[in-house]
A = this chain, B = another copy of it.
Amino acid sequence: MADWLTPTVKAAGIERALKAGQVLFRTSHRTAGFYEVMTGIVRLLRVDQAGREVVLHVATGGETLAEASLFAPTYHCDAIATTDAVVRLYPKAIVLAEFERNSKAAQAFMAMLARQVMHLRTRLEQRNIHSARDRVLHYLTLNAGEDTRTVMVPGTLKDLAAELGLTHEALYRTLADLATAGEIERFKSKIRLAKLRV
């Protein structure tokens, strides 16, 4: 997953603990580099003229943050810890120098970004599906494993509901309906799509 993280870069990572509400960086601050969220939740936002927060993104464990800051002199939004959190800073100069020297690392980084773009587009497409039923089916179909039928559910169903953009109630109901309709089978942390009806 993080094969762009060469030993050099990894060694340069600087961990930092944040209290809930603490500011990681603000708009127009000079960019230090980009971050990886290790634990907790960090949100990216802008503040509009009326002082309201306009949220750009909510990052949780494992996600990277502000990749674009590698190529910009200043940050373009604020980053604030929503919960207590631990982040790791990858200093811009070191990362860029590594990419210059090591084109394999650069390629791996590009590949990671390209995969993210792909994945995000897919999730966006998913949100165009209005029916909860179809949205869940879309997700299951796309995330079915080797046998093209079994999906491992990562984390709780509540988390899944959030990823799908549904309330957890709606997800529970939809799964229950699909199960009684015989379209899926449910297991502890797996869901299996019914055999295709031809």
Binding site for B on A (CB under 8 A): 44, 46, 48-52, 54-58, 67-68, 70-71, 96, 99-100, 103, 106-107, 109-111, 113-118, 120-125, 127-128, 138, 141-142, 148-149, 165, 193, 195-198
| CB within 8 Å for A123 and B124 given contacts A48-B141, A99-B107, A110-B106 | yes
Chain copies in complex: 2
Give the chain B neighbours of A198 by CB distance below 8 A: 50
9 new A-B pairs (CB below 8 Å) besides A51-B196, A57-B125, A100-B103? A50-B198, A52-B141, A56-B125, A70-B114, A71-B111, A106-B106, A113-B114, A120-B120, A124-B124
Q: Please, which residue of chain B has its CB at the minimum distance from the CB of A162?
A: B128
